[in-house]
């Protein structure tokens, strides 16, 4: 069974631009969660989607948004990029039917903001 895939793997943007990251979950998984990982803050939860609906959201500004499609694929968007948005962005998929399902992570997208 194929794992979670994320595209692109690396991205370089400049301040003020916007970016869209994509995540394809494991087949049959309906929940996708997004995380930001930085050396200083560690792994921080952004949001979670299930059946095209956002069920939960972390403490990030409104510049961070996401969506999920009917095939469970998900995208996250960051508008008006800031230097501090440089991070590894990870998505994780799970079955989603229960809060306690294990999450399986993709390889991440490394975003650098110049």
Partner 1 sequence: EDQVTQSPEALRLQEGESSSLNCSYTVSGLRGLFWYRQDPGKGPEFLFTLYSAGEEKEKERLKATLTKKESFLHITAPKPEDSATYLCAPKPDSWGKLQFGAGTQVVVTP
- Contact positions toward partner 1, by CB under 8 A? 4, 31, 33, 35, 42-43, 45, 47-50, 55-56, 58, 88, 90, 92, 94, 96, 99-100, 102-108, 110
Cis peptide before 8 (omega within 30 of 0): yes
CB of 82 to partner 1, least distance (A): 22
Contact status, residue 63 vs residue 113, Cβ threshold 8 Å: no
* b/e map 4-13, b = 16+ CB within 10 Å: bbbeeeeeeb
- Ramachandran class of 55: left when φ > 0, alpha when ψ lies in -120 to 50, beta otherwise: alpha
Specify the residue, 55 or 63, whose C-beta has the smaller distance to partner 1: 55
Q: Residues with Cβ < 8 Å from 51, sequence gap 6 or more?
A: 30, 68, 96
Specify the residue, 62 or 102, whose C-beta has the smaller distance to partner 1: 102
Specify the residue, 27 or 80, whose C-beta has the smaller distance to partner 1: 27
CB of 19 to partner 1, least distance (A): 18
CB of 90 to partner 1, least distance (A): 5
Token pair in block for residue 43: 């792994």
CB of 103 to partner 1, least distance (A): 6
């Amino acid at each position: 069974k194929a794992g979670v895939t994320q595209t692109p793997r690396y991205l370089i943007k400049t301040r003020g631009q916007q970016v869209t990251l994509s995540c394809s979950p494991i087949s049959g998984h309906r929940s996708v969660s997004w995380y930001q990982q930085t050396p200083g803050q560690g792994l921080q939860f952004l949001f979670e989607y299930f059946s095209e609906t956002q069920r939960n959201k972390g403490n990030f500004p409104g510049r961070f948004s996401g969506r999920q499609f009917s095939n469970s694929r998900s995208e996250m968007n960051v508008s008006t990029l800031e230097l501090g948005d440089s991070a590894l962005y990870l998505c994780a998929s799970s079955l989603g039917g229960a809060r306690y399902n294990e999450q399986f992570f993709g390889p991440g997208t490394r975003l650098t903001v110049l």
